Amino acid sequence: MSITIRPEPATGVGQRPATSARSLDAVWVAVFAASVSAAGAARPSLWFDEAATISASTRPLPDLWRMLGNIDAVHGLYYLVMHGWFAVFPATEFWSRLSSALAVGLAAAGVVVLGRQLSTRLVATTAGVVFALLPRVTWAGLETRSYALAMVAGVWLTVLCLVVMRRNESRWWLGYAVSMIIATLLNVFLVLLLPVHAVLVAVMADTRAVRWRWAVTALAAGAGATPFLLFAQTQLFQVNWIWPLDGRTVGMILREQYFDDSLPTAVLTGLLIAAGLLRWPLAGRRSRRLVAVTVAWIAIPTVILLAYSALRHPVYYPRYLSFTAPAAALLIALCIVAVGKSRAGITALLVVFALAATPNYLAQRGPYAKEGMDYSQVADVITRHAAPGDCLVMDNSTAWKPGPIRPLLAARPAAFAKLHDYGRGPTAIQRNWLWDGHIAVWSWADKMPDCPAIWTVSERDKTLPDHQQGAALTAGPRLGRTMAYQVPSRFGFRVVERWQFSFAQVTKSVR
């Protein structure tokens, strides 16, 4: 027996638009969202996490499969997708991030489609614009990781859930279960959509039979995903850097989960929600239904991650809940429409929202926006100034963020290919790991006399200027105490030029 979820009359301002105009809403919002995220994509340096994506996704598939047995299984499907992407596009700052910007566009289209199913056209299109401007979204659209694709999966799986309830046919229920399992392989936290969809079914399904069929399907999807979830537990060491829950956690939820530390956007959203609550007595059935679904979408995954972090292992981190950003956008949009009332008022509030998000948006696109890392700037120096046959020394004593220094090379490997990297140990593929091994500089000192020049990458020295050039520059207190400098200096190498960035310094030494 099939069900019908009947759309209620639109309650927006003015007359109901033509069907053809409504059908284009998702398209123009998708283009707008993708463009907003893609703008400035080439400027920020690549960083540790993006280097991991490039390292894993550009290796042969059999080697990728072996690596996943050791590390990053939770990103395996994403790496497979990016393997296909990098087969077409180069692994540069812009082209690698364009994949995420396009995913944001697809997710924004899903927000509009879902908003139209749960509310009015005006709320739906407003939600699409809010989603495009939300700091967590503009961050994900500029990150070569699975967060943007997780948003796509989250919103379109929710649309699929509504479609399946309407059709109520076995093949559609099977498709929903398989899609949920695949989504979990893409991002392990997407399995938390199952309890969210339980709320969606409770408020949207017309018959008990449909609710039962969803429950059986959800159990089957959960069972199908369980082996992967259990295997992922064996690699929890990867998130040992996440701190246990403490007093900062509440601030992370309120300020970072959707706003990427943008205080103006967080405060404005709080004011909009408070104003929306004042109009709650006037809310219709559609609005109450939308609130129920979006609040569940935000709250349930957050509470589950917090509980898991408290009881078993710390895993809560704001960006891990990026797939709930569509819900935040829908809830904010509903409040904007309720408070703005007219199209002019709604437009004004969207402009204010955009202005509040602008400082964070610009900061996200700064040269060192990715945790202050400067992988790309180092690679640019090598590309422009190093000659083929020069030698490379990586100072492994650096307090690199967040791990060893070798990931720097994985972000832009082609830039360093012309250099002799005698300090490179077993390759990442040989190790079934993300990064190459490292050999201490003194172990290959006998090869140094044959080096026309030595390029040393070390940690920034705050006592020295950003650029120096001369016949024999001082090593500086930071570089001078390292073997990366002391061993070459014994063979007569002296620093003749230095570049310093956010975290790294690069020196050229000759004899």
What does the pLDDT read at residue 13?
Answer: 36
C-alpha 183/C-alpha 253 separation (Å) is 24
The continuous run of DSSP H or E covering 471 comes out as strand 467-473
Q: pLDDT confidence of 12, banded at 50, 70, 90? A: very low
**pTM for this one?**
0.93
Position 466 pLDDT exceeds 60: yes
- 17: confidence class by pLDDT, cuts 50, 70, 90: very low
117-173 residue pLDDT tens: 999 999 999 999 999 999 999 999 999 999 999 999 999 999 999 999 999 999 999
3-class secondary structure per residue, 27-76? HHHHHHHHHHHHCCCCCCCCCHHHHHHHHHHCCCHHHHHHHHCCCCHHHH
Q: What is the CA radius of gyration of the chain?
A: 26
Handedness of CA 5, 9, 12, 15 (dihedral sign): positive
507 φ, ψ to 5°? -120, 145
The long-range contacts involving 438-441, CB below 8 angstroms and separated by at least 24 positions, are 438/394, 438/396, 438/404, 438/405, 438/406, 440/396, 440/483, 441/393, 441/483, 441/484, 441/487, 441/488
For 366-424, write each residue's pLDDT tens digit.
999 999 999 999 999 999 999 999 999 999 988 766 668 899 999 999 999 999 999 99
- The token pair at 385 is 């100034």
Q: Which residues of 391-411 are buried (b: 16+ CB within 10 A; e: fewer)?
A: bbbbbbebebeeeebbbbbbb
> Confidence band (pLDDT; 50, 70, 90) for 11?
very low
Question: Strands across the sheet with 391-394, in order?
Answer: 391-394, 454-459, 504-510, 494-500, 467-473
Residue 190 pLDDT greater than 90, yes or no: yes
* pLDDT computed for residue 9 by the predictor: 44
- Sign of the Cα pseudo-torsion (79, 85, 87, 93, in order): negative
Reported as a single tens digit per residue, the pLDDT across 426-464 is 999 999 999 999 999 999 999 999 999 999 999 999 999
339 Cβ neighbours under 8 A, 6+ residues apart: 272, 275, 276, 279, 345, 349
Neighbours of 477 (CB within 10 A): 11
Instruction: Report which of 326, 339, 217 is spatially closest to residue 272, judged by C-alpha positions.
Output: 339
Give 252-289 pLDDT, tens digit per residue.
999 999 999 999 999 999 999 999 998 877 778 888 99
